[in-house]
Structure 1
Amino acid sequence: MFPVGASSSVYARSGYHPPPNHPATNSSFASHAKHDIPPPSSRRASSDQESVRFANAQLDDFKDHLYELAKDQNGCRFLQRKIEDTSPGNDYVYAIQAVYNEIHSHFVELMTNSFGNYLCQKLLERCNNDQRDTIVSIVAPDIVNISLNMHGTRAVQKLIEFLSTPEQIKMVTAALDPSVVPLIKDLNGNHVIQKCLHRLSDEHRQFIYDAVCQKCIEVATHKHGCCVLQRCIDYASDKQKIQLVQEITRNALTLVQDPYGNYVVQYVLDLGDEDFSDGLIRRFIGHACHLSAQKFSSNVMEKCIRVARPDTRHCLIQEFIDPTAMEKMLRDSFANYVIQTSLDYADLKQRNELVDCIRPLLSTVRSTPYGKRIHGKIFREQTRTQQHTPSFQSQSRRLMNHPDV
């Protein structure tokens, strides 16, 4: 939030004295400001008068001027009330037709208007199929530009929500198709694509999956795109999900190192489908040490080790069992966490190999916070093992004292 102004008391409290020509001390400026800006009480009175103007008005009182009313705050509210009021005293069907007749040709402009967009949304809810057909045909050529607008995006989402015939859907999707990726990457436009994913059938939203798969890296490595790509997975049919995961898997090595793309990779791993995750994780075999030392991919490598099939996990961890690689990883602020996770999830034989590789290096890294953690993890595990593995002598004594011996 930014302050909208400061009074003289603010300057006094802070000890700040404005320069001689500053507006706060310029009497001429203050005099003009006093006359140019109406006081709050005057503005409230003007607003109240506008409200009273529409209080008991009838639609016919403004015939041929509804387009102008649609762009006025109070006028827009008045028109909305008229087309949604189903009480016996109001002929809302007549109101819908009257408003439609005067504004439908201006729909492109009104959808991006700060007030008019609300009337457009309400009319899209209430109009019949024939009226909506006409509106869609008018809007479709400009639907991308409208979607990029902060007001227009809401009106387009409402339009998509109330598409009611195959012809309407075809017109809208054909108009959006060439610009799917630019819309996904836009602050406003991405919500239109998400509405298509949510409201349209598998068949009618296929154009989004085709576009996303064609530009997978561009979409997945964008701050809005990575979120939309996750929603694509959520709403996908089985066939669309396979199409999408295959493309993500193909580009996994690039995506996993990106600040946004890594979340897409993790989202696939979180699906819990072993067929998907195993193919994805195997893309990282041969790159495990490098990826473990990267800021974004190190988190993914930890997750891979946790969820991988035993044979795939074994391949990943085996890359760490090398004295040169291990020393670098133990000293790295990211990779050391991957080593800690490996110690937790490796099978017994491979864990012993990890410990044997780590132990000679502990003295060189023990003073670092990471080295202390790994040393503690190994020491605690050894202590537990010793406590649960009785010595040969104690085993013999218990055996000799057994009543059956």
Structure 2
Amino acid sequence: MNSPAPNFFEAPQQQSLPSSVDALSRSIGLLCINGYGEGNPSLPFLGTYPRTHQVNDVIPQRTPVPTAWFGDSMEAAQNPFLEQRVFAEPYNYGGSSGFVDGSIDPWMPQQQDGGAGLENYGVHQFSNLGFPKDDSFLSNAKTQKGSMEIQKSLNSNDDMKLMMTYMKAVPFTVPLMMDQHGCHVFMKLLDFCSDTQLRFILAEIIQNIALFLEISSSRSGSKSLKRLIKRLQKSPMLAVLINILANEFYPLMVHPIGSHVVLECIDTLQPQQNELLYLKSIEHCLELATNEFGCIALNIFINHSKGPYRYKLLSSISNHAVYLSQDPSGNYVVQNVLALENPCCSREICSQLKGHYARLSMQKGGSHVVEKCLSSREMMKHVVEDLLNTNQLIQVARDKFGNYVVQKALQVTKRAESSQLHQQLVSVLKQHKYALQYGYGKNVWHAIENEKNAVVDHSE
């Protein structure tokens, strides 16, 4: 018989009650993560390893978590919950085996009568980690009253109550997270869990990528994940979660609720912890910027980003300013970058848009970008000169969007340092007085007339 692959926990080989370290190891031997097998770079291991449980092939083969991911299990030796769990309830550990080698899992209770054991419990009565399921706990946690009672018991500083609540909650981690009342139980439990216990909770959450996305896209699930991120802030387990968020970066960022999970990382964690997320933001910035929901999430991402990757992201957007300015969603991202008043980015955008200002002024989204450029003292001169050098100025002034751009140009060039530009602009427009008497051009002509009247009133 071939020996198991190295760096993975073996199936239990004896029936004696384990030490806390052995118990942790055996439980982790059952820990499986669906969707992270060969060819998937989400987690730092490849290949598959046969499952240790015989459950009539109801559960598909999955990829077990390597011991390296869980770190030293010596922490379990100081964990009273792991030590007490074996004796938590008066189960008979005799009876039928749950393992291919005939041994039993001491963390998985057998029937007291020593009868059919696992066969009569059914697969649905146990979580992937071997925790017994108590459906009444979930039903209770989903009610407002029950949720408050469970949270109160967690605050009681009673180790036994905490241990029992943890054991009952872990199999229902996902439904608790996604329920409006159950999520409060989940978040309260995080405050009292040790790192070892958090590993089991995290394993339940990431066992299936489709389920993880479903959690992220629900209001309560998103709130629960945000709390988990804060709880893992100083834990090496955070890297596993960041890995998954990075792999699913685009679908999360274009979801109005799922994006909150990624943005929580940017808002809460250090730049080096978010490195993978920053790299993904640069990779997907154009796709996000041109998406109805993605552009909103990307703008928030930009505003909260820190460190060297922030400038790389801004540069990527600035280099594609023409393309984005013409897009119904992308123009908002360009406006947001301009509003940051970063000199390097503003100059790059100004350079990219040169020769395109007139055309952009006659587009709904583009006109907003041009107005934003006119609001910048550094860029204003270049925009007005570009408009004056084109033969489309009057066409812009008569356009339903462009007339606002010309009015803005008249307004910002009134300053003393720009008076010469202002005079040139007014002079060109006056040459086409009759063309501006109709349609949207009237708005521009009225602006010129009002300015003249204001000067007369001031002199009097």
Query: Could you tell me the TM-score, scaled by structure 1's length?
Result: 0.72
Tell me, yes or no, if the aligned pair for 1:289 and 1:325 is still in contact at 8 Å: yes
Q: Cα–Cα, structure 1 residues 164 and 68, in superposed 2: closer, same or farther, change >3 Å?
A: farther
Is the aligned partner of 1:375 residue 2:442?
no
* Aligned equivalent of 2:383: 316
Residue deviations 1:343-382 (CA, integer Å, cap 9, x gap)? 22332222222222211212122133x4333223333444
Q: Return the letter of the residue paired with 2:400.
A: S
SS in 2 for 1:71: helix
**For 1:4-403, what aligned pairs fall within 5 Å after superposition?**
66-72=134-140, 73=143, 74-84=145-155, 86=156, 91-142=157-208, 143-309=212-378, 312-321=379-388, 324-346=391-413, 347-368=418-439, 370-382=440-452
Q: Which has the larger radius of gyration?
A: 1
Distance 2:161 2:381 in 1: 71
The gaps in structure 2 that reach 5 residues or longer are: 1-87, 90-131
Q: Return the letter of the residue paired with 2:399.
A: D
- Between the two proteins, what is the percent identity of the paired residues? 25
* Aligned equivalent of 2:34: none
Q: Return the letter of the residue paired with 1:242.
A: Y
Shift, 1:92, TM fit: 3.2
Q: Cα–Cα, structure 1 residues 76 and 374, in superposed 2: closer, same or farther, change >3 Å?
A: closer
Shift, 1:264, TM fit: 1.4
SS in 2 for 1:151: helix
Distance 1:175 1:219 in 2: 18
Q: Cα–Cα, structure 1 residues 352 and 115, in superposed 2: closer, same or farther, change >3 Å?
A: closer
Q: CA RMSD, aligned part only?
A: 2.8
Q: Return the letter of the residue paired with 1:71.
A: S
Shift, 1:322, TM fit: 5.7
Shift, 1:246, TM fit: 0.3
Distance 1:257 1:195 in 2: 30
Tell me, yes or no, if the aligned pair for 2:314 and 2:345 is still in contact at 8 Å: yes
The gaps in structure 1 that reach 5 residues or longer are: 1-58, 391-405
Shift, 1:385, TM fit: 6.0
Distance 2:254 2:356 in 1: 30
Distance 1:234 1:353 in 2: 38
SS in 2 for 1:361: coil
Tell me, yes or no, if the aligned pair for 2:137 and 2:168 is still in contact at 8 Å: no
Distance 1:222 1:249 in 2: 17
Q: Return the letter of the residue paired with 1:377.
A: A
SS in 2 for 1:166: coil
Distance 1:154 1:123 in 2: 14
Distance 1:128 1:276 in 2: 46
Q: Cα–Cα, structure 1 residues 160 and 147, in superposed 2: closer, same or farther, change >3 Å?
A: same
Tell me, yes or no, if the aligned pair for 1:306 and 1:345 is still in contact at 8 Å: yes
Which structure carries more helix by proportion?
1
Q: Cα–Cα, structure 1 residues 185 and 388, in superposed 2: closer, same or farther, change >3 Å?
A: closer
Distance 1:115 1:386 in 2: 68
Q: Cα–Cα, structure 1 residues 345 and 188, in superposed 2: closer, same or farther, change >3 Å?
A: closer
Tell me, yes or no, if the aligned pair for 1:71 and 1:110 is still in contact at 8 Å: no
Say which is worse superposed, 352-361 or 171-180, in terms of deviation: 352-361
Distance 1:376 1:106 in 2: 68
Q: Cα–Cα, structure 1 residues 324 and 164, in superposed 2: closer, same or farther, change >3 Å?
A: closer
Say which is worse superposed, 176-185 or 277-286, in terms of deviation: 277-286
Shift, 1:228, TM fit: 1.9
Shift, 1:332, TM fit: 0.4
Q: Return the letter of the residue paired with 1:329.
A: V
Q: Return the letter of the residue paired with 1:350.
A: L
Aligned residues: 322
Q: Return the letter of the residue paired with 2:166.
A: Y
Q: Cα–Cα, structure 1 residues 94 and 305, in superposed 2: closer, same or farther, change >3 Å?
A: same
Q: Return the letter of the residue paired with 1:83.
A: L
Say which is worse superposed, 175-184 or 259-268, in terms of deviation: 259-268
Query: Could you tell me the TM-score, scaled by structure 2's length?
Result: 0.64
Residue deviations 1:138-183 (CA, integer Å, cap 9, x gap)? 3233333421334322221221121154321111111222101100
* Aligned equivalent of 2:95: none
* Aligned equivalent of 1:47: none
Shift, 1:291, TM fit: 0.3
* Aligned equivalent of 2:129: none
Q: Cα–Cα, structure 1 residues 275 and 98, in superposed 2: closer, same or farther, change >3 Å?
A: same
Distance 1:348 1:65 in 2: 78
Tell me, yes or no, if the aligned pair for 2:267 and 2:305 is still in contact at 8 Å: no
Shift, 1:334, TM fit: 0.8
